[in-house]
Amino acid sequence: MTPPLRLEPDRVVSTVCPYCGVGCRVDLYVKNERVYRVMAHGGPPNYGALCVKGRFGLGFLHHPDRLTTPLIRRRKGGELEPVGWREALDFAAERLAWVAAKHGPDSLYFISSAKATNEANYLMQKLARAAVGTHNVDHCARLCHSSSTAALSRSLGSAAMSNTIEEIPLSDVILVTGSNTVETHPVIGAMIKKAARNGAYLIVADPRRVGLAESAHLWLRLKPGSDPVLFGAMARWLVESGHYDRAFVEERAEGFDEWWASVREYTLEFAESATGVPAEKIRAAAERYAAAGAAAIYWAMGITQHSHGVANVQALVNLAVLAGQLGKPGSGLNPLRGQNNVQGAGDMGALPNVYPGYQPTANAAVRERWGRLWGTPQPETAGITMTEALESIGRPGGVRAVYLMGEDPVTSEPYQEHVRAALAQLDFLVVQDILKNETYPYADVVLPAASFAEKNGTFTNTDRRVQLLRPVFEPPGRARPDVWILARMGTRLARLLNRGSAASWEYPNAAAVWEEVRRAAPEMFGGISHARLEHENLRWPCASESSPGVSVLFTDGFATPSGRARLLPAPWNPPAEQPGGEYPLLLSTGRVLYHWHGGALSRRSALSEAYPTLKVEVNPADAERYGVRDGAAVWLVSRRGRIRAVAWVTERAPEGVVFAPIHFAEEAANRLTNNAYDPVSKIPEYKAAAVRLEPA
Ligand SMILES: Nc1nc2c(c(=O)[nH]1)N[C@H]1C(S)=C(S)[C@@H](COP(=O)(O)OP(=O)(O)OC[C@H]3O[C@@H](n4cnc5c(=O)[nH]c(N)nc54)[C@H](O)[C@@H]3O)O[C@H]1N2
Ligand SMILES: Nc1nc2c(c(=O)[nH]1)N[C@H]1C(S)=C(S)[C@@H](COP(=O)(O)OP(=O)(O)OC[C@H]3O[C@@H](n4cnc5c(=O)[nH]c(N)nc54)[C@H](O)[C@@H]3O)O[C@H]1N2
Ligand code: SF4
Ligand SMILES: [Mo]
């Protein structure tokens, strides 16, 4: 029950929304130890705005499914039973150490969390690298922007958004592609719509008629998976017609000849046939984009989540470089980061190939430096990605034990049945979460964590803004902050595996962890302290206490070894599974405004009443072809499984494509999806599987 709004709060605490990467500042109004109202705090990054999730989505804090006590399963097949912290931590550490001793450190895998703080992510990768001695650590960015990271890092040397939220009004042209911004980054979506009303030219490239397509001056309804041709043809046309930024390319880029050879075929006519977008619109989009004083590209999962996701991002990078749309306010490349702290989890080195601050694990001098810092030698063997780890379970030399923090692979990884089979084969699984999610039943140890509202620490939003959390409540029952748990696990594993000193795991609080991050990655974080964050807004890179941090990236050079941007071919390949025969439709999966991923958080809040059932978008022509009525129950069937949903017959979906939201664990979209991966980024192909539609 929501008490009346005029209620006098016991206290109002200002903190950060736990849902998306916009990182809105929120004021939580508390009465009788419950949040009864959420208001925007004012100021950046959200300037008074909030979406429904920030406002009405925090009910999970008080939900009966909160984990409140540690649990252990003494024997496979036995029950989970409540125990004290000491017993749970000893039990987990002894078994992890036993697997590491018997099968080697690389038989362990550490899944960190983009929902957890920077400090917790730092400790998770330290647990893997220092206490155990493996680079086997990753987080959900693998399923998300790994394709962006791969392409941006090799071409520009840095993978973060090059512009900031404040620069949205400075762009003359905004190109949004593969991002349903209005529903997934709603506050940024509203800012883009406002910019379009105030004179910016808005181009949207998306197969679906998503919210932003309605506000666009130009909507390019491309066929799913045809992005390299669309953006390759735009870039090719700019060069052919002389509209590209020749001076920029000559002074600041390299690789032109090889790239040019790779787009030979991509004439406007060819692009029209491959993408379904009229040549005239492609030409207009290219010319508008290149002619703008400042033009920014925003993208998300429609670009990255393909078995050729890296090529998709590369095509955007090439376009920006050829048009010279980089390194100026309002002009740049902007991967919209999804989770509240996915930027931070990467920054903290919760990735198999980099230490905190993106220092490469492949570099011996870097490894030596970290070895000195932590007082324990660093592994030379490269780490594997989270998706590779999952595929390796049950195979010779594969992963045998997993430490999982704040991630729900049963709902979020592709091809659910094979994920369940893999988890069931593990020797040992630790689940550290705030709630009973879908993966929890597979756990051998459950460690109850404190939520964002019950701990200290920092989140880094999509435009590199590091923000301080403030505790609103005590954690429920015996739940403890992730940092508290990981530090104790570190002490135990370091001792059992005889790696480094237990003293290096003594942290009185989250701020002490952050101080270690500052010392370890000074160019990025040296100037940022918890104390400064109390009253200042800071972005990385921020090297000194007197610096306010950097907003626009690449103003005077790229972060590549040569300082130049690298143009690279972006080959076009179709999705791994093509519609046809028994499975004539293409399934695209994704999000709606009201819900969050597998629903662990949002479906335990008032949002459940606002959006209670799974609806799949079906184009009217397909509805007629397969005998499906609007509002009727249907089956979606792929080679890997089937789910039941309600049909929403709508022009939002293009003909031949059905769109299913991922938020309903009991009818999980990932029962249908294909475990095909991009060869470089190892991202799953969530945006293309072959399915059929049946009336239920
Ligand atoms: N409400 C809500 N918001 C969220 C989340 C959530 O669960 N719920 N999750 C957060 C996270 S972690 C993330 S990563 C972001 C994701 O944010 P988005 O990427 O905006 O979310 P999706 O629903 O996956 O949308 C993908 C978009 O790509 C389009 N698309 C599909 N296939 C193609 C293609 O082949 N080419 C192109 N160009 N476009 C295509 C789809 O039509 C859709 O508009 O959202 C974040 N925000
Ligand atoms: N078919 C399909 N599948 C997809 C996608 C898609 O578009 N289509 N998108 C992919 C993408 S982009 C992403 S990011 C993933 C997301 O997939 P997940 O990261 O697995 O999804 P979440 O529901 O956000 O799970 C986070 C877990 O963290 C827990 N949690 C929340 N706060 C805390 C905390 O402070 N501490 C701890 N320890 N736990 C906490 C929650 O209870 C929840 O169990 O899904 C991927 N899966
Ligand atoms: S836009 Fe994102 S950060 Fe802001 S209130 Fe909504 S979910 Fe929270
Ligand atoms: Mo994501």
pLDDT value, residue 557:
87
Atom of ligand 3 nearest to the CA of 54: 5
The pair of three-digit structure tokens given for residue 492, joined into one six-digit string: 């135990």
- How far separated are the first and last CA of the chain, in Å rounded? 36
Is 589's C-beta closer than 6 angstroms to any atom of ligand 2? Answer: yes
Q: How many CB atoms lie within 10 A of CB 26?
A: 23
Q: Is the pLDDT of residue 24 over 80?
A: yes
CA-nearest residue for atom 6, ligand 3, is 51
- Residue pLDDT, tens place only, 474-483: 999 999 999 9
- pLDDT of res. 565: 97
Question: For residue 682, is pLDDT > 90?
Answer: yes
- Closest Cα to atom 14 of ligand 1: 338
Model confidence pLDDT, tens digit, residues 641-661: 999 999 999 999 999 999 999
pLDDT per residue as tens digits for the range 498-517: 999 888 999 999 999 999 99
- Ligand 2 centroid vs 407 CA: distance in angstroms? 5
Task: Render pLDDT for 430-445 as a digit per residue (tens, 0 to 9).
Answer: 999 999 999 999 999 9
Q: For residue 453, which phi and psi values (nearest 5 degrees)?
A: -90, 5
Q: How far is 79 from 64, CA to CA, in rounded Å?
A: 20
Q: What is the pLDDT of residue 551?
A: 83
Q: What is the mean pLDDT of the chain?
A: 97
Give me ligand 3 centre to Cα 394, in Å: 39
Ligand 4: centre distance to CA 371 (Å):
32
Sign of CA dihedral 647, 651, 652, 656: positive
Residue 4 has pLDDT above 70, yes or no: no
Within 8 A by CB and 6+ apart from 425, the residues are 393, 394
Ligand nearest to the CA of 335: 1
Residue with tokens 């769109």: 659
601 lines ligand 3 (CB under 6 A): no
Among 665, 645, 660, 661, residue whose Cα is nearest residue 601: 665
Cβ of residue 611 lying under 6 Å from some atom of ligand 1: no
Question: Could you tell which of 27, 51, 469, 593 is best to mutate to test the pocket of ligand 3, judged by most ligand atoms within 8 Å of the CB?
Answer: 51
Structural domains of the chain in order of their starting residue, each with its CATH number: 11-62 (2.20.25.90), 71-143+340-522 (3.40.50.740), 147-336 (3.40.228.10), 585-695 (2.40.40.20)
Task: Dump pLDDT digits (tens) for 392-435.
Answer: 999 999 999 999 999 999 999 999 999 999 999 999 999 999 99
Q: Is the pLDDT of residue 485 over 70?
A: yes
Q: Say if residue 1's pLDDT is above 60.
A: no
- The residue whose CA is least distant from atom 12 of ligand 1 is 338
Distance 368 CA to ligand 2 centre (A): 34
- The ligand 3 atom at the shortest distance from the C-alpha of residue 185 is 1
Asked if residue 281 lies in contact with residue 222, where contact means CB atoms within 8 angstroms, the answer is: no
The residue among 529, 567, 449, 469 whose CA lies nearest residue 17 is 469
Are 642 and 635 in contact by the 8 Å Cβ rule? The answer is yes
The alpha carbon of 142 and the centre of ligand 2 are apart by a number of angstroms equal to 12
For residue 392, the surrounding DSSP H or E stretch is helix 386-392
Contact (Cβ atoms closer than 8 angstroms) between residue 229 and residue 275: yes
Ligand nearest to the CA of 17: 3
Average pLDDT estimate for 14-32? 97
